Structure 1
């Protein structure tokens, strides 16, 4: 079952070919992890969605309160039998059809879909996880690149490149040739007692899990957080690399080219993440 503009319909329901999210990528979205029926970091997702809609100059309906959208998500979880289960929820908000590049208006519609998840906690995957740089195309470091929109061509092409080269993931560069993020999450680099992550001004996604990890690092006495540009040269000098997103939590990188990495910091932060999830 799927929610389209508040109507719960069968999965085979269709949207118009003139839908602007389909025709122009004129849409923003949030991917939310649900554990035992609980929507993790929902407040962070909601406020990022509202900020994204404002940046995209979409009208925010009066009824788009945090409570309203949470109820809409709960209803579609219930309709699919996940009200107390584990699921991946995708909430897409698109500008309503009309116009070409220039919209006729800025009103919006939305869809909410769900998929089952097998695990109810964040676990550290310690199997081999190899990455390399994707250098065919670059991220423009602008405010738009920090949003979760339907314009994900570089992520799609990069994922195909990774698959063709037997890589588990790729790291994206911006037009200044700094490392920005992975194809499916934010990047953190550990060197000594410093933990670095690219700043939003470099064009990385304003990730919800990125926000959580930054908060956890701030609670550590033995480490210093830096939001600073990361050059490709630094990757091979690092002690540890890991990637974050709300579904996986933390994914340790085991290998970048000939360099292999540890995962002690990722493991420690993952423990803090699971404590936060249990207490939320």
Structure 2
């Protein structure tokens, strides 16, 4: 069942060829993890969505309160018999249909899709082999628009195809300044001694929800220093650990970049802190 503007539909073919998200990428989305009817980090997701809509000059409907959208998400979860399970939810917002580059109206449309997930808690993956490389065919433009979760994800699609063709688990994206931005499906963190770095939003990385949780966890761990600073590709060879983050997987340690192998000690410590905060909230 799909929630389309508050109406539950069995037919998933509800988007027409005139939809602006389809035609122009004029759309935003939030990827949510819902465990037993609880939306993880819901407040952070909600405020990111509202801020993103304002940046894209979308009209925010009066009913788009945190309580209203939460109820719509849970209604969708229940309609798909996932209220007592773990679910991955995609909440999409677009400007509906009509117009060319200039919209015909200020109308805002939304749809919610849910699917089952097997894992409820965050844990480090069992596999020890997670191999990455750089994707250098195209580059991310630094700036505010690159930090948003819009439907313009062509570079992520091409990078994913490149990774599969080269037997890689993931790739790292570069910006036009040739600095590391992020992974194809999440933010990147680099560990060297007791210093943990992640690229700043001004470099063009996604303003990730799990990125925020990890940064807060690092600051709470005695003995670790956090830096939000540009990362050169040359630093990858000198790092002790690399890991990526997103709200579905949590933390994904990287085991190998070219001839360099990495540990997964600090990433485990950080994940434990994130899980502790989740249990207390």
TM-score w.r.t. length of structure 2 = 0.98
Q: Retained in 2: the 8 A contact 1:57–1:106?
A: no
Whether 2:148 is the aligned partner of 1:147: answer yes
Separation in structure 2 between the aligned mates of residue 106 and residue 57 of structure 1, nearest angstrom: 9
**Residue in 1 that maps onto 2:119:** 119
Separation in structure 2 between the aligned mates of residue 139 and residue 91 of structure 1, nearest angstrom: 24
**Residue in 1 that maps onto 2:41:** 41
Q: How many residues align?
A: 280
Separation in structure 1 between the aligned mates of residue 74 and residue 94 of structure 2, nearest angstrom: 20
**Residue in 1 that maps onto 2:58:** 58
Separation in structure 1 between the aligned mates of residue 2 and residue 13 of structure 2, nearest angstrom: 8
Deviations 1:170-195 (A, max 9, x none): 00000000000000000000001100
Q: Retained in 2: the 8 A contact 1:179–1:232?
A: yes
Measure how far apart 1:157 and its partner are: 0.3
**Residue in 1 that maps onto 2:246:** 245
- Per mean C-alpha deviation after superposition, the further-off stretch among 12-21 and 130-139 is 12-21
Deviations 1:23-60 (A, max 9, x none): 10000000000112211000000000000000000000
Whether 2:176 is the aligned partner of 1:175: answer yes
Separation in structure 1 between the aligned mates of residue 227 and residue 134 of structure 2, nearest angstrom: 22
Separation in structure 1 between the aligned mates of residue 106 and residue 239 of structure 2, nearest angstrom: 46
**Residue in 2 that maps onto 1:19:** 19
**Unaligned 5+ runs, structure 1:** none
Separation in structure 2 between the aligned mates of residue 277 and residue 10 of structure 1, nearest angstrom: 34
TM-score w.r.t. length of structure 1 = 0.98
Deviations 1:71-90 (A, max 9, x none): 00010101001112100000
User: Counterpart of 2:202 in 1: which secondary structure?
Assistant: helix
Measure how far apart 1:11 and its partner are: 4.0
Q: Retained in 2: the 8 A contact 1:8–1:76?
A: yes
User: Counterpart of 2:110 in 1: which secondary structure?
Assistant: strand
Measure how far apart 1:13 and its partner are: 3.7
**Residue in 1 that maps onto 2:235:** 234
What are the within-5 Å matches in structure 2 for residues 75-86 of structure 1?
A: 75-86=75-86
Deviations 1:72-110 (A, max 9, x none): 001010100111210000000001212101112222100
User: Counterpart of 1:28 in 2: which secondary structure?
Assistant: strand
Whether 2:268 is the aligned partner of 1:277: answer no
Separation in structure 2 between the aligned mates of residue 278 and residue 62 of structure 1, nearest angstrom: 33
Measure how far apart 1:279 and its partner are: 2.1
